[in-house]
Structure 1
Amino acid sequence: MNIWKQQLLFLLIALVSVAFFCLYPALPRILNNPEQYFQLNGAKIVISVLINYALISFIYLLFRKTFITIFFSQFIFLLIKETFVVAPWLLKFSVLSGVAVCITLIVFLYRKEQLEKKRLFLSNALLSLCSLGVLISANFSNNFSQLCQQNQLGWLCEYRQAFPNTKGDWIGDHLTIQKIGFIPFFFSKSMDSLNTRLFNTENIPEATIKALYTPYSTTMPVLKPEQQPNIVMIMSEAHWDARQLGKNIPQNITPTLDRYQTSSLLSPSFGGGTANVEFEVLTSLNIYLNHNELMYVSKLKRPTYSLATYLNSLGYDTTAMHNSGKFFYNRNSVYQNLGFNRFTSLENMTSAQDRAKYINQAGWANDDLLYQSIRNQLKHTEQPQFIYAITVENHFNYNDDRYGMDHFNINQPELSESSKRQLNTYLTGLQRADQHVEKLLQDLKQQKRPTIVIFFGDHLPNLGQVYDDFHFFASAQEKAEKKDVKFFSTPLAVWSNYPIDRSLFQQKNIAAHFLAPKVLTAAQLPLPPYYQFIQAVNACYSAIHQTGVELKPECKYPHPQLLNQYKDLNMDVLNGKNHSYQLLTQKAP
């Protein structure tokens, strides 16, 4: 076989493979609107074909046999655990039923097919290594992000979003595989893992992690089951004090939440990245120390100690809730790894037949579903409940009239019509969030069990031009760098149907990674060694954040050592051996 025929064959196989693994799972969307699908995903499909082609050429270097290379290259990736887990069920069935046949054919082809000429080897070496070099470089540098920001790569930067980015794509593994195909997914995941191991991993010794918890008591008094309060945490999508935009913003949009607001939450994200906020709240680990990665997508693949893990050990029934799809941010698997007993997603809240009537113009589910799910779960009064609920109805994009038109008339002459529409939609969403909370609190006043509700926004909204029209950013540099805490501060409100120490929350900002110990203390629950350590870090640092590492003047502990210990904890849990989880969950002899 000559080189041209071989490379055309490799390219054809790459194309057919992507068509099956990528286009087949997305067939309903393609048939529904083919023009829109290919407009949004055409470049991704091309990149997927090129990655597949490059890998086929590279695998040829191992065999120097064309047909066994084709066969082996398209099936070996199906046997990798991580990619197999997120494959569609039909593909899993096909793989499992065909493994024996595959092995037999591979052995047969290897014996039957002769080694091919050296020029084919050299041609494939040149083609595969050059193309894989570009693709690996793209993955390692987050798809040339720095060079593209400096406008150094021209046309290539127009297609950077088409390169696979399994470390930073919020839609999660299951849906990513439908968008880019199975083999590009495997390639990107492999590069993510290699990048982490080479540059971002240090295996922290078990003794070092054990030393973090040694100073703290492991024998803790526990409240009687009937005294343990329900804990409801509501993380509200893009909820923010919009009055910061200017004096022309209505002042009484959220009266209920204003009444119970104690402080602000210092979020790790601006304008998006919801899952990183809940990651910090639930684990008390730190996004800033971990390169602002999307942890739910890139790292949480194994059991990880969390607020849910600890409350389970106290006899709580733990539930994560989100009125959106279960696969976004890999929540379907992440919540299991964080120890939640269940995850109630949109799929569980209403039937597929009824779902359309709860979806607003922007494509997001109304929060009525979520708040009703909270009420339903709290009816299970045999056990104390821990509910972590994430809302979605006021999600970006705001260029629609999902709640109706002209609820708010903003007297700002320089506002464009587009900005007025966005602001009307966003402010109405804030108002609806307040009304949802007010109704919930009225119901909870009838609860016999002590109940505490913690409400906070996950991040500032992505309002785009609205910020510019109100001159929210002092300069282009401030807009780009966002080093002021005002860009990360969202309202934090606390309510309970029994007396608690509200002073625990009365400070200017509470960093998301330091919230959990305050909630446990307010609920009069004992702190385990893990949260005693987090509390000790918080005693010296008010925040460890991209806006600054804020050291408290009253800190009595050798703070550099404490900060290094906190870094070691993050490294161990996310990249290392995760000794922390084993030490904290092992049963006493």
Structure 2
Amino acid sequence: MKSFLKYQTIFLIISIICIYTSIFINNNLVFPPFLKQQSLLFITIQTIFSSLFPISILNIIYFFTKRLFTTLIIYFSIYITLNYINLKKNLYLSSSLIPSDFFLFKETLIASPLLLKAGIIILLLLLCSIIYFFYKKEKPSHISLHLLYIFIPLLIISSYILINRQQYFYSYCQININIGCKLVAVLPRTQDNWLGDHEIIIQNGFVTFFVSKSIDTFFEESDSNISENRIKHIFKLENNKTVLLKNLPNIIFVMSESHWDATQLDKSIPKNITPTIHKNQVSTLLSPSFGGGTANVEFEVLTGLNTLINNKKLAYVSNLKRPTYSLPTYLNQLGYETTAMHNNGKYFYNRSNIYQYLDFHRFISLENMVSASEKNKYINEGGWATDDLLYSNIQNQLKNSEQPQFIYAISVENHPMYSDDRFGKDNYKISKVGISDASKRQLNTYLTGMKRADDKLKDLIENVKQLDRPTMIIFFGDHLPNLQAVYDEYGFFASAQEKAEKKDVKFFETPLAVWSNFPMDRKALQGDFIAAHFLAPKVLEAAHIPLSPYYAFINKVSSCYDAVHQTAIMPKKGCQFDQAQILNEYKDMNMDVLNGKNFSYQILKAQAQN
């Protein structure tokens, strides 16, 4: 037992050293900011949890070798190799090494120069020789309790799987905050974690990330039963050939953080906060998210795919890992220059990687908008970058190219939480009786942020009026704000059950405003609401841009359904097709792209080249 405890202590020390070495290296040798914000207790608990996977790997290696020094050589060889590859991939591709990358071994081997292949083979042979030498040199340990070295990893991994794969724990913890939920929140999850892979590595170390990502990858849903012929049938080319227009309009999407019609909260809320948005509002956007999950909204808008069909996963993190047909894909084919913009870090939600899969020409993130030394000047009291950076980059992009522009801009300055005075104090008087000072402060901050968003949109419109090229601006909120107790004090939810279930569309509707300096087809954008997954073809129609086969199909689905949403699947009257068949085809397309062989992308790209 003494030797067992001794080895476990050694494994723990090595794990902690490796974790923090990885954290500092991946954070450019700077003390991670998140550590400064946490208590010593939290850091201790997180370190222990983060150490569990490296300890498991060490125990597994030791179980098979029965040699401590050999175990350490093998572990450090794996650790150094994976970290080195991850750093290089991050440097050149702005994305982290993930388990599925090893499925591309054949392609990597073909693409690698002969000298590199030879060098790798020599290094592998040398490493194997060293391991074999020490394995033969070192005497095996004759110890009792040897089965514990495999039992511990199995216990750790099975516990992780149980907690991580069962949504009950996380659903429970959304409405119950206790010590158990706080501990669960510290687990190094990679599935549906909005932070994105790089940020998880900075918090938990690379080995912990890679093992947890491997487990999540192993349990990913896969549906390879959807045949190529099935997808070809969906995208048949009847009357769907595109026609290149002579003067294509600029298309600018502004997805405004947490923007909502706050007058729905109560009659006492001022009604003239956002006059520009109100003047140009054509409908509302039906978001797939409430209070968060921004990436799922842009996922639906940019791809036409569906969060509900994807089991409410964060697709950007969980299962969007390859080139995917999207609005940028199609507009690139028409001659557009496509740009994603976000005044936040490039790694959140894996955006630096995802936007490459969605065929954007470029991604302008906070790192590109301002230097690291100047960054703090643009961070507000809430910890978010101001939208001044975002809108100035939109204007610069419009000025600096003669090509038609597609810009998808995501704002962040009005991001929750609102318990601060980032825009000043008491800009709006909260007159309703019974509202706490904390809620008044939150609401004042939020309403001021709404007003600032309206001012920025007004300035952008004035700027665009100076352009010669026809231009369309589409403005919408990604989801309702996370106002916490404000909702309760205003009685926004009729009951605790309604708050938990959120079965009414009003909990997912945000303003959808559209402005253009040319006669657009406003009929395409009319309706009680437009579901996020149906927005793109409506915008194309409004801009008089022909639909590709992909968007012709999405529009076909929208002619039969108002939405495929968590509140309800909403059939539309007057559908000219077999509604059940259309819905099944839409589901098949989603499954093919996200969990199947992605025939959709291959077929659509081939069609575009013909």
Q: TM-score, normalised on structure 1?
A: 0.92
Aligned to 2:38, the other structure's residue is in SS state helix
1:165 aligns with 2:189: yes
Q: 1:234 is matched with which residue?
A: 254
Q: 2:521 is matched with which residue?
A: 501
Aligned to 1:196, the other structure's residue is in SS state coil
Q: 2:308 is matched with which residue?
A: 288
Q: 1:50 is matched with which residue?
A: 52
Q: Contact 1:87 / 1:177 at 8 angstroms: preserved in 2?
A: no
Q: 1:219 is matched with which residue?
A: 241
Q: Contact 1:230 / 1:449 at 8 angstroms: preserved in 2?
A: yes
Q: Contact 1:232 / 1:386 at 8 angstroms: preserved in 2?
A: yes
Show the 5 A alignment for 1:194-205: 194-197=218-221, 201-205=223-227
Q: Contact 1:86 / 1:173 at 8 angstroms: preserved in 2?
A: no
Q: Aligned pair count?
A: 582
Q: How far apart are the structure 1 equivalents of 2:582 and 2:229? A: 16
Q: 1:405 is matched with which residue?
A: 425
Aligned to 1:467, the other structure's residue is in SS state helix
Aligned to 2:544, the other structure's residue is in SS state coil
Q: Contact 1:217 / 1:528 at 8 angstroms: preserved in 2?
A: no
1:544 aligns with 2:564: yes
Which range is displaced more, 421-430 or 10-19? 10-19
TM-fit CA distance, 1:30: 5.3
Q: 1:275 is matched with which residue?
A: 295
Q: Contact 2:346 / 2:367 at 8 angstroms: preserved in 1?
A: yes
Q: How far apart are the structure 2 equivalents of 1:368 and 1:334? A: 25
Deviations 1:133-161 (A, max 9, x none): 2122222225833565798x985433001
Q: How far apart are the structure 1 equivalents of 2:34 and 2:520? A: 54
Q: Contact 2:521 / 2:544 at 8 angstroms: preserved in 1?
A: no
Aligned to 1:45, the other structure's residue is in SS state helix
1:426 aligns with 2:428: no
TM-fit CA distance, 1:74: 4.0
Q: How far apart are the structure 2 equivalents of 1:304 and 1:150? A: 35
Q: 1:327 is matched with which residue?
A: 347
TM-fit CA distance, 1:31: 8.5
TM-fit CA distance, 1:442: 1.0
Amino acid at match of 2:236: T
1:571 aligns with 2:572: no
Q: 2:228 is matched with which residue?
A: 206
Q: 1:6 is matched with which residue?
A: 7
Gaps in structure 1 of 5+ consecutive residues: none
1:129 aligns with 2:130: no
Q: How far apart are the structure 2 equivalents of 1:31 and 1:253? A: 36
1:490 aligns with 2:510: yes
Q: Contact 2:276 / 2:458 at 8 angstroms: preserved in 1?
A: yes
Q: 2:210 is matched with which residue?
A: 186
Going from structure 1 to structure 2, the CA distance change for 1:481 and 1:143 (only over 3 Å counts) comes to: closer
Q: How far apart are the structure 1 equivalents of 2:83 and 2:600? A: 24
TM-fit CA distance, 1:477: 0.6
Deviations 1:221-241 (A, max 9, x none): 2202xx100000100000000
Q: How far apart are the structure 2 equivalents of 1:423 and 1:444? A: 32
Amino acid at match of 1:184: T
Aligned to 1:371, the other structure's residue is in SS state helix
Show the 5 A alignment for 1:62-461: 62-76=64-78, 79=81, 84=86, 102-117=127-142, 119-142=144-167, 144-145=169-170, 156-197=180-221, 201-214=223-236, 216-224=238-246, 227-461=247-481
Amino acid at match of 1:372: S
Going from structure 1 to structure 2, the CA distance change for 1:261 and 1:9 (only over 3 Å counts) comes to: same
Amino acid at match of 1:71: I
Aligned to 1:456, the other structure's residue is in SS state strand
Q: How far apart are the structure 2 equivalents of 1:177 and 1:403? A: 33
Amino acid at match of 1:58: I
Going from structure 1 to structure 2, the CA distance change for 1:38 and 1:584 (only over 3 Å counts) comes to: farther
Amino acid at match of 1:451: T
1:528 aligns with 2:548: yes
Q: Contact 1:270 / 1:487 at 8 angstroms: preserved in 2?
A: yes
Q: Contact 2:23 / 2:32 at 8 angstroms: preserved in 1?
A: no
Q: Contact 2:35 / 2:43 at 8 angstroms: preserved in 1?
A: no
Gaps in structure 2 of 5+ consecutive residues: 98-118
Aligned to 2:320, the other structure's residue is in SS state coil
Q: Contact 1:30 / 1:37 at 8 angstroms: preserved in 2?
A: no
Q: TM-score, normalised on structure 2?
A: 0.89
Q: What is the RMSD computed on CA atoms of the aligned residues? A: 2.7
Going from structure 1 to structure 2, the CA distance change for 1:38 and 1:295 (only over 3 Å counts) comes to: farther
TM-fit CA distance, 1:128: 2.2
Q: How far apart are the structure 2 equivalents of 1:192 and 1:546? A: 24
Going from structure 1 to structure 2, the CA distance change for 1:102 and 1:43 (only over 3 Å counts) comes to: farther
Amino acid at match of 1:223: L
Which range is displaced more, 564-573 or 469-478? 564-573
Q: Contact 1:139 / 1:191 at 8 angstroms: preserved in 2?
A: no
Amino acid at match of 2:65: F
